[in-house]
Amino acid sequence: MEETKINAQPIDSKIPEGPIAEKWTNYKAHQKLVNPANKRKLDIIVVGTGLAGASAAATLGEMGFNVLNFCIQDSPRRAHSIAAQGGINAAKNYQNDGDSVYRLFYDTVKGGDYRAREANVYRLAEVSNNIIDQCVAQGVPFAREYGGLLANRSFGGAQVSRTFYAKGQTGQQLLLGAYSSLNRMIHAGKVKSYNRYEMHDVVIIDGRARGIIAKNLVTGKLERFAAHAVVIATGGYGNTYFLSTNAMGCNCSAAMACYRHGAYFANPAYVQIHPTCIPVHGDKQSKLTLMSESLRNDGRIWVPKSIEDAKKLQAGQIKGSDIPEEERDYYLERRYPAFGNLVPRDVASRAAKERCDKGYGVNNTGKAVFLDFSEAINRLGIDVIRQRYGNLFDMYEEITDVNPGELANEINGVKYYNPMMIYPAIHYTMGGIWVDYELQTSIKGLFAIGECNFSDHGANRLGASALMQGLADGYFVLPYTIQNYLSDQISVPRFSTDAPEFDAAEKKVQADLDHMMSIQGKRSVDSIHKELGNVMWDYVGMARTKESLEIALSKLKELRKEFENNLFIPGTQEGMNIELDKAFRLRDFITMGELIAYDALNRHESCGGHFREEHQTEEGEAKRDDENFFYVACWKYNGDDETAPTLIKEPLHYEAIKVQTRNYKS
Amino acid sequence: MWLTNSSVGRKIVMSVTGLFLVLFVTFHALMNAVALISFDAYNAICEFLGANWYAVLGTLILAGGFAIHIIFAFWLTLQNRKARGNIRYAVTSKPKEVEWASQNMLVLGLIVLCFLVLHLVQFWAKMQLPELMGEHIMPGKWYLEATFSHLWVLPVYLIGFAALWFHICHGFWSAFQTLGTANDKWIERWQCISKWWATIVFILFAVEACYFTWFFAL
Amino acid sequence: METNISFKIKVWRQANPHAEGRFETYEMHDIPTDTSFLEMMDILNEQLIEQGQEPVAFDHDCREGICGMCSLYVNGHPHGPATGATTCQLYMRRFKDGDTITVEPWRSAAFPVIKDLMVNRNAFDQIQQAGGYISFQTGGAQDANAIPISKVAADEAMDSATCIGCGACVAACKNGSAMLFLSAKVSQFALLPQGRAEAKRRVKAMLAKMDELGFGNCTNTGACSAECPKNIKLSNISRLNREFLSAKCSD
């Protein structure tokens, strides 16, 4: 194993001066702006149409810039933000339960296990309220009380009710809101929309991002696009694990293209495992389905107290509803009395794994725990519960053939309903392209927003914060900060796509595609991707060790060889070739997998979504090492995929919050 | 003109003319019902609706309504076939919520039209038309006898009435839906009213035709 | 309980938008019934790749019924025989051993086939672009609680807004009409006070665009709503008609 190279060059995160609460106000007051006549002369490429991409493209268009907006799906409305179920946080304090910008900021930093950049998180909490105003004005039908005002619910990692929601489809409604603003700008001619296009490379001219090479997925042709700045909003890299809650098309190729050009990749090891997904059922499975975290408001998580009951459950001899209240181990409520079932995701996921590893799993694979609504249904009635979670219950029933709202048993006068079965699954990636306070990457003119960047969630993201971050970046942060960059670009004329840099970039991409087509081996893309997923889940998954990570790195090297020598893609490059598109993404997933493993290996501590078995307390809780690892790990590409990247550290400085051990027990 | 340029406009034309025809059919059925009670009264009605200016005007409006309804029906159907594309599904299956009539309105309408032509030949062409041309005509009862004394007339009329029943069952509520007067509750109410209305009209016509056949042919 | 089934699958293959299409029949063996329909398609594609053939192209993405990408016409129904579910939420337990399953693309003049089972639904985006929004600048919004909205209206708007834009309504309609899709969006905004200000402009612009794109005329058969994976209600269409009529009458 080669030593990780560490680069000592300083890193400038451009955090403004002043007290935390005034940084963003000060920044906006003193930043450079672009006047309306000049905005018309500037072009911006936005890759991606999720919450971050669509909101940024729409807002930049409204401001007067010319925007080119790309998505791989057939319509901008299909981006995977649409699948977010639970809700969006904001510090409105409409419920009068003591919420404030500071508290949202504090909860987010604490939830992120003190590995987020303080100033970014404070700004996020600050603009959270504007997001709700914005969305309501767009016609997003948030849930309301009978009095006509907005309703809230609580979410993991918080002791206040600050989550706004639209049934179990909040992501859909927020994305459709952003999509409607985007449509308005497309209609006005300020945004040009390119659907079924996939970015294959970013074009750098004189050290600045000046365009992209994108493939028209229908014709199979590579096309060139030039602009004054490029914004990447292409989401996370969860599909490195093959099975995840991400959509099938989610990929990290755009991010990897930036990384290969020298953009730092930060904290790749921070991968969020969501505790409430439907368990894996077989090796033909293509993806995992999330059951919204909001279910934990009324659902109670348990496994049997006795190992005998667990064995009977695994053998299919009894059902969950056959086990009476006193025989159930509500292990989250037992271990974390203060937060109970609402502990953050990383904590809940590890607790489930701990129980299942001890043999208490409740399905035939032994990898599932129960999520039970009996108590809530008995307390509130089935109608109230269906009103809250009806569509989630239906979804669960369609997939598993079990209706969680159905009365299953009555023991000693207590009614027991069918419990759901859940198990943790890869859901979100906190790591991403490194950005400074302005959301600019380490390449000038290249910006990264939404899940694609690393900035706000530290080592773990709280529920209902992803939507908040995506929209904050797109509506309220990037449209300001990008002007600070563009203000001195107004005299730069539009670039011709005939520039030699475009030629070179297109040739390179074409050569890569030609190479993949020419391998003509024996294995399909999916079969290699599944193998990658298994390596990642087994060795770089929920619990990692030095040994497992080293095994992973050597297995990934093998896998790359397999990809390079034994891949088979049918068809030609003429027209649509879905296998070629998937192969292009898989190549980058393999590199991404290595990057995750390198980072995980380097971080000798447990924090948030990164758990090293060597670093835990006697009770099995994560043990951080603030003395040695209180930094953002930024990885710099070293010229080719085979070589290990160089680590650059961005030290964290906390002014407003005192770093302490996370405690959800009391 | 938005009534011809927009899809909703065209449908509004269909629904307004359709509702007008439903009203006409209803009055027609009620008028005929008079003959069940008294042929003298029926003769008086026929005379009242002869070659008088108001009756002629009414006939013209009615004919216009029919014409527009039929022309639009063909026009819409042609557009809809084009919108469907050139290749048809290999397998189709009707969801149970979908009424059979709703997918076959043109065919049902054509059956009603054929019946209408026959009916016009048997009555209007012998009553209002010659009267307009200054010829002397017989009282209404005479024409009933001339028609219903033939036994084949009854089954043909019943087929026409049945097609009309299906056509009104869908057309009636559909018109109110198109005119924007429906919501979750009223869709069901209009559907219910539509069935009742169509059934009452059908029963009236059927009873009348059966009675006349019994009276004149048996 | 899980069992395995074997069946034939008849799939529409078409190389590109201009090519002639045809049905191909494939044999599928021992597919577990808890496999989703699209996972079964994945298995079919792996088989085809193994034989050196091109896999069947079909649209799919989130595989949890919300993105609206999947669009297969299975055994005479858009999204298959399950009600209130998209193709990706369809499971093989709905089928029997020995069945022949026919899979076709959406058929509508406004949705031309791109390849195999994949169609171009850009027309839906164009309808939305014509007016499916509330016009205001980012940052210009008032406090979210400044306008109270009755829970009834908000819930009904939410039901309409649930539309995923998959196009099943058009695929199911014998007239190739997009009225259910259009009415869902118009209804969402018509029900909310924020949307009232430009309600008239919106309904006229969106309807004109829909007509221009070659969708058919609605004849209220109700097949759209019956086949809709999100149960968008027929009453939305009546609301659309009402909005349009009142907009035209006040011109």
Q: Per-residue pLDDT tens for C36-70?
A: 999 999 999 999 999 999 999 999 999 999 999 99
Please name the member of C38, C129, C138 whose beta carbon is closest to the beta carbon of A186.
C129
Q: Which residue of C has its CA nearest to A78?
A: C67
Whole-number Å distance between alpha carbons of A183 and A185? 5
CA distances in angstroms from A625 to A157, A321, A355, A615, listed in the order given: 22, 43, 26, 9
Q: Which residues are CB-neighbours of B38 under 8 A, at least 6 positions away?
A: none
- pTM score, two decimals? 0.95
Q: Answer for the pair A242, A58: CB distance below 8 angstroms, yes or no.
A: no
Tell which residue, B99, B136, B115, has the closest CA to residue B25.
B115
CA distances in angstroms from A632 to A268, A458, A556, A600, A647, listed in the order given: 10, 9, 24, 12, 10
Tell which residue, A272, A267, A199, has the closest CA to residue A645.
A267
Q: How many CB atoms lie within 10 A of CB C152?
A: 12
Whole-number Å distance between alpha carbons of C229 and C66? 10
Q: Which residues are CB-neighbours of B120 under 8 A, at least 6 positions away?
A: none
Active site residues of A: 345
Q: Which residues are CB-neighbours of A133 under 8 A, at least 6 positions away?
A: C141, C142, C143, C144
First to last CA, chain B: 55
Q: Which two tokens stand for residue A229?
A: 């700045």
Average pLDDT over residues A161-170: 92
ipTM above 0.85, yes or no: yes
Whole-number Å distance between alpha carbons of C246 and A294? 41
Q: How far apart are the CA of C49 and the nearest CA of chain B, in angstroms?
A: 26
Look at residue A328 in the predicted model and tell me its pLDDT: 96
> Is a pLDDT exceeding 50 seen at residue C11?
yes
Q: Which chains touch C (3 or more CB pairs under 8 A)?
A: A, B
First to last CA, chain C: 61
Q: Which residues of B touch C108 (CB under 8 A)?
A: 83-85
Q: Return residues 7-66 of B near C (CB < 8 Å).
A: 7-12
Look at residue A10 in the predicted model and tell me its pLDDT: 73
Alpha-helical (H) ranges within chain C are 37-50, 122-129, 151-161, 168-172, 179-191, 193-196, 199-212, 223-227, 235-249
Q: Which residues are CB-neighbours of B171 under 8 A, at least 6 positions away?
A: B18, B22, B105, B194
In this complex, do C177 and B11 lie within 8 Å of one another by their Cβ atoms? no
> Is a pLDDT exceeding 70 seen at residue A9?
no
pLDDT interval class at C251 (50, 70, 90):
confident
In this complex, do B83 and C211 lie within 8 Å of one another by their Cβ atoms? no
Query: Which parts of A103-232 are beta strand (E)?
Result: 163-164, 191-194, 197-205, 208-216, 222-226, 229-232
Alpha-helical (H) ranges within B85-183 are 105-122, 128-132, 140-148, 153-178
Domain boundaries of chain B, sorted by first residue: 2-217
Q: Which residue of B has its CA nearest to C247?
A: B2
In this complex, do C61 and A78 lie within 8 Å of one another by their Cβ atoms? yes
Q: Answer for the pair A459, A223: CB distance below 8 angstroms, yes or no.
A: no
> Is a pLDDT exceeding 80 seen at residue A95?
yes
Q: How many CB atoms lie within 10 A of CB A616?
A: 15
Q: Between B and C, how many residue pairs show a Cβ–Cβ distance under 8 A?
A: 148
Q: Which two tokens stand for residue C7?
A: 């069946």
Look at residue A156 in the predicted model and tell me its pLDDT: 73
Q: Which residues of C touch B177 (CB under 8 A)?
A: 220, 234, 237-238, 241
Look at residue A293 in the predicted model and tell me its pLDDT: 81
Q: How many CB atoms lie within 10 A of CB B215?
A: 16
Q: Per-residue pLDDT tens for A599-640?
A: 999 999 999 999 999 999 988 889 999 999 999 999 999 999
pLDDT interval class at A652 (50, 70, 90):
very high
Look at residue C92 in the predicted model and tell me its pLDDT: 94
C84 and chain A: CB distance < 8 Å anywhere?
Answer: yes
Backbone angles phi and psi of B24, in degrees to 5: -60, -50
Q: Which two tokens stand for residue A16?
A: 């403004």
C112 and chain A: CB distance < 8 Å anywhere?
Answer: no
> Is a pLDDT exceeding 50 seen at residue A1?
no
Domain covering B2-217 in this structure, CATH number: 1.20.1300.10
Domain boundaries of chain C, sorted by first residue: 4-114, 122-249
Q: Per-residue pLDDT tens for A499-530?
A: 999 999 999 999 999 999 999 999 999 999 99
CATH fold of C4-114, please?
A: Ubiquitin-like (UB roll) (3.10.20)
Whole-number Å distance between alpha carbons of A608 and A270? 7
Domain covering C122-249 in this structure, CATH number: 1.10.1060.10
> Is a pLDDT exceeding 90 seen at residue A346?
no
Whole-number Å distance between alpha carbons of B203 and B214? 16
> Is a pLDDT exceeding 70 seen at residue C1?
no
Q: Answer for the pair A267, A632: CB distance below 8 angstroms, yes or no.
A: yes
Domain covering A498-631 in this structure, CATH number: 1.20.58.100
Q: Return residues 91-120 of A near C (CB < 8 Å).
A: 92, 94
Superfamily (CATH H level) for A5-270+430-486: FAD/NAD(P)-binding domain (3.50.50.60)
pLDDT interval class at A2 (50, 70, 90):
very low
Q: How far apart are the CA of C5 and the nearest CA of chain A, in angstroms?
A: 15
> Is a pLDDT exceeding 80 seen at residue A7?
no
- Mean pLDDT (chain A) is 94
Look at residue A619 in the predicted model and tell me its pLDDT: 82
Q: Which residue of C has its CA nearest to A187?
A: C129
Give the CATH architecture of domain A277-425: Alpha-Beta Complex (3.90)
pLDDT interval class at A345 (50, 70, 90):
confident
Whole-number Å distance between alpha carbons of C203 and A304? 57
Average pLDDT over residues B174-193: 96
